[in-house]
Amino acid sequence: MVAAALVLLAGCGGEESPGSGSAAAPSTAPGVGEVTTAPDGVQEITLQTQDDYVFLPDSFTVDPGTVRLTVVNVAEEMTHNLEFDDGEGPEPIDAGISLLAPGEQKTIEFTVTVPGDHPFTCTFHTQLGQVGTMTVRGR
Ligand SMILES: [Cu+2]
């Protein structure tokens, strides 16, 4: 009898409602992923990171020239960064964002001249697949 009562009690505890599971999911910031040309002629692109291991988008295409790249980290917990992979692309890109805390955004500017795929990564999460590709168009 006592054992049966314990089982019943234990069975009662597990039905806790998870609560409001559909509360405002972080939406994509405006303009993310769109390559535009600023008034000063520089190409601009904004990427987003969040509490996962994905660049949004993870690929984009620019023309040869100067690129102003902004990364917005809308994560609540995860810190990311963005570095171009030395030696893997057709030309070195020294610019990078070494640390992007939750809620932060940073902008870098650099010039590309060689068409082809310029891979980049979040060095904290490379193993988890947080990589991307910037393609520079041929002319
Ligand atoms: Cu990361």
pLDDT in tens, 91-114: 999 999 999 999 999 999 999 999
Q: What percent of the chain has pLDDT over 90?
A: 76
Distance CA 70, CA 107 (A): 4
Give CA separation, 92 vs 76, 96, 110, 137, in Å.
32, 11, 10, 16
- 70-87 tens-digit pLDDT: 999 999 999 999 999 988
Q: Look at residue 125 and tell me if it is in a domain.
A: yes
Where does 2-136 show beta strands of DSSP type E? Answer: 36-37, 43-49, 59-62, 65-73, 80-84, 96-100, 105-112, 116-121, 131-136
The DSSP letter of residue 6 is H
Q: Look at residue 106 and tell me if it is in a domain.
A: yes
- For ligand 1, the distance from its centroid to the CA atom of residue 124, given in whole angstroms, is 5
> Which residues constitute the domain of residue 104?
31-136
Q: Look at residue 115 and tell me if it is in a domain.
A: yes
Distance CA 138, CA 108 (A): 23
Based on the structure, what is the number of domains in the chain?
A: 1
- For ligand 1, the distance from its centroid to the CA atom of residue 81, given in whole angstroms, is 6
> 78: domain CATH number?
2.60.40.420
pLDDT on residue 56: 98
- For ligand 1, the distance from its centroid to the CA atom of residue 105, given in whole angstroms, is 14
- For ligand 1, the distance from its centroid to the CA atom of residue 52, given in whole angstroms, is 8
